[in-house]
Structure 1
């Protein structure tokens, strides 16, 4: 029973979070829908054609917000191609037609469901707390919400509190269903049209395969450079020192011993370089401590105070964990070197077969892939695993990196 209650509370809280997020996107969809209706009415009198492309871009923006929201909750939605520049082609585009239907549906039904879903727990809290503050109100003022009758004392206030229990029961019972119903228009209308889904997927796989090959080539060059510039040079030094020690052994044993000590130091440095290269290929800490332990180790070594939240039951594929580890390592390195941040947060959670990772800092923002800060390498690693990478870094901050990876078994 205790486990059941915990599960119901967790499901209800998740549903409330979904409904509140959907309420935000539904307000945006309603505004976009009203804008589109105004543009359509303007077209009837010949003054709206010039703003149709802007209206369609606004519809696309609202739809993309909902795609991003649903993707964070585990619903995989493919991003559409750009809106066609030609007006006639844009109006014939199945993506555009489906998005117009989405803003009309989500802007009305989604708004109603989000409002009701938010009002139920608020009404429950208001009614449950009413016995604590009813005496501050005049009796003829009634109670919260729709309660308009006279409240003469504590027994009447307790009746209001029982009504709060009913509101809470309704929120727990219907909240998850309302959240699913609210997400339904986005899942149905924002998915790729049936006739273009296959071609988009082929193009996406072609791009990710190219990214995987590029990432593999870059990784090989990095390993070769590390071996050539580090371990190889030190091993050459060991060979030279051993030759010098062998020649000095007969003439000056003390000098030979000194040279052998230097050769031993060079050999130990070479071993350290080799360990560093090996850790760069697949960190042993992932096998020893798992993803959560490895990320906490990265946070402990970061120059900026960092909070780590990991909710990943079980283990993901080794390559996925290694990618997540390298993404966090590179992101925290950027935070410490470039951001000027005071704090950073790393969050990793698993939803169904997707691993969602975010790194946020409160620094100055303005991160750019083109300035050699390692962000392009992060994107390349993520896309090599058919994942998604999103960077948000407005001037003044905060900077947020969102990564989504498919969890292999």
Structure 2
């Protein structure tokens, strides 16, 4: 083992656990903030449904039922989209039935009514509690820095009235209380986020048959994409060998024949021909190595995906930063696909974006590998503009992955790719 390695691995592991817990807490805070938005919409939808039900008692509410159910479906779809961004995709149901009786007896509508009641009450409560804890943690922790700027009566009422703040030691006590709030938030926020999302995942998911039928369609499309990607890769390799390496080898053969004939007539001229043949052979060898590396870069086998991406960044004409958090290796095919995605994306950035900086972020979360490539170029990237994005999508979908491109005019451009890690 190298001498600079730490003698014991417990302390780095604990530090890593703290960082991982902090990142989990920030993710939970983001979930709760996003959930607060849908809880407000759910509360509005609940009030609309309640008002429609009351209006039905006098007969006029029957005309409002279709609009209320469509509003309920719109809010539920918003929650489905939010939850799909943070976990397994929730398949949306069919549109609300046109007939009033069919709409009221639709099982999906009944589940959405149950969800809107739960989310507008329990979900709102959890979001408010989570935001209150986070706000208390930040304000109390930083209180010693700005308590002197407060009027005396407001400073004295800090720390929830537990003590009077008159000097720096008492202000530091409030800061210690803020540290306690941070610990409480780190312990409770992830569970609160999961509890807030549970009713949506339980009640808004489609019927198992719907999910299975869509999954079969997705796998059929994925299989077709895999075959297309395989055929395109074979064509690329054949084109590289035919147009490059084969021509070099033919040139070597011709030059060797010319050198053999020159030996009998002009031995001194044969040396120049042999030198040209050697140069052509070296170029053919270099092209063969390039083709082999494009199939599966050796650095992926010898080292890791992080090292391979670092090598790509060093050769990119645009200043590129790699942020990788991949504690375990993925399947070789998945790492090769991730390498291809980043290589093609950096090539597009160098050729088309006029960017000055690019960032590649790679994270492994559970059983998926997430890649994000961003640049500060002029934006406007289009999959159908011949920029290689179609090839990236085909390779991604061939591994049952997802691709999302955000590239407004003026930039920035963000390419998000998610791949299953495989075995």
TM-score normalized with structure 1 length: 0.86
Distance of aligned partners of 1:100 and 1:327 in 2 relative to their CA distance in 1, 3 Å threshold: farther
Distance 1:25 1:175, change over 3 A: closer
Matched, 1:67 2:81: no
Q: Whole-Å Cα distance in 1 between the matches of residues 262 and 329 of structure 2?
A: 56
Q: How does 1:292-307 map to 2 (within 5 A)?
A: 292-307=306-321
Report the equivalent of 2:288.
274
Residues 83-119 of structure 1 show CA distances to partners (whole Å, capped at 9, x for unaligned) of 5486458888766765665555445433432332232
Residues 208-227 of structure 1 aligned to structure 2 (within 5 Å): 208-227=222-241
Range that drifts further, 39-48 or 180-189 = 39-48
Tell me the distance in 1 between the aligned counterparts of 2:151 and 2:95: 62
For 1:76, what is the secondary structure of its paired residue?
coil
Aligned residues: 403
**In the alignment, structure 1 residue 18 sits paired with structure 2 residue 28:** yes
- 8 Å CA contact 1:84, 1:90 repeated in 2: no
Q: CA deviation at 1:187?
A: 3.2
How big is each residue's C-alpha offset from its partner over 1:159-217, in whole Å with a ceiling of 9 and x where there is no partner?
54454344234223322321221232343344442232322222221111111111101
Q: 1:59 & 1:237 partners in 2: Cα distance?
A: 67
- 1:372 is the counterpart of 2:386: yes
- RMSD across aligned C-alpha pairs, in angstroms? 3.1
The 5 Å alignment of 1:91-130 reads: 102=115, 105-130=118-143
For the residue of structure 2 that corresponds to 1:197, the secondary structure is helix
User: Structure 1 residues 278 and 235, CA, compared in 2 at 3 Å: closer, same or farther?
Assistant: same
SS state of the match for residue 347, structure 1? Answer: strand
Deviation string, structure 1 residues 246-278 (Cα, Å, up to 9, x no partner):
222211212222222211111111111111111
- Label 1:309 to 1:254 Cα distance change in 2 as closer, same or farther (>3 A): same
> Does the Cα contact within 8 Å between 1:131 and 1:161 map onto a contact in 2?
yes
8 Å contact 1:130–1:160 — kept in the other structure? yes
Equivalent position SS for 1:236: helix
* Residues 268 and 162 (structure 1), Cα distance of their counterparts in 2 relative to 1, 3 Å cut: closer
Aligned twin of 2:56? none
- For the pair 1:327 / 2:333, whether they are aligned, the reply is no
Decide whether aligned partners of structure 1 residues 288 and 94 sit closer, same or farther in structure 2, where only a CA change above 3 A counts.
farther
Given candidates 78, 88, 91, the residue that maps to 1:76 is 88
Deviates more, 1:275-284 or 1:243-252: 243-252
C-alpha distance in 2, partners of 1:367/1:99? 38
- 3-state SS of paired residue (1:296): helix
Structure 1, 326-335 or 23-32: larger mean CA deviation: 23-32
- 1:7 pairs with 2:17: yes
Give me the whole-angstrom Cα distance separating, in 2, the residues matched to 1:163 and 1:110. Answer: 27
- Other-structure match for 2:253: 239
1:407 aligns with 2:421: yes
Match of 1:27? Answer: 37
Displacement after TM superposition at 1:49 (Å): 4.6
Q: For the Cα contact (< 8 Å) 1:362–1:398, is it kept in 2? A: yes
Of 336, 340, 358 in structure 1, the residue corresponding to residue 354 of structure 2 is 340
The verdict on how the C-alpha distance between 1:302 and 1:260 changes in structure 2, with shifts beyond 3 A counting, is: same
Q: Which residue pairs with 1:363 in the alignment?
A: 377
Distance, in Å, in 2 between the alignment partners of 1:282 and 1:352 is 25
Whether the 8 Å CA contact 1:140–1:151 is kept in 2: the answer is: no
Residue 323 of structure 2 aligns to a residue in which SS? strand
Stretch of structure 1 that moved more, 192-201 or 148-157: 148-157
C-alpha displacement of 1:307: 1.4
Whether 1:188 and 2:202 are equivalent positions in the alignment is yes
1:308 lines up with 2:322 in the alignment: yes
Q: Give 5+ residue unaligned stretches, structure 2.
A: 1-9, 53-59
SS in 1 for 2:161: coil
Question: Which ranges in structure 1 are unaligned for 5 or more consecutive residues?
Answer: none
CA distance in 2, matches of 1:94, 1:364: 48
Instruction: Look up the SS of the partner of 2:380 in the other structure.
Output: coil
Residue equivalent to 2:55: none
Q: Deviations over 1:118-169 (max 9, x none)?
A: 3213313322443454444344333336439754445654554454344234
| In the alignment, structure 1 residue 397 sits paired with structure 2 residue 406 | no
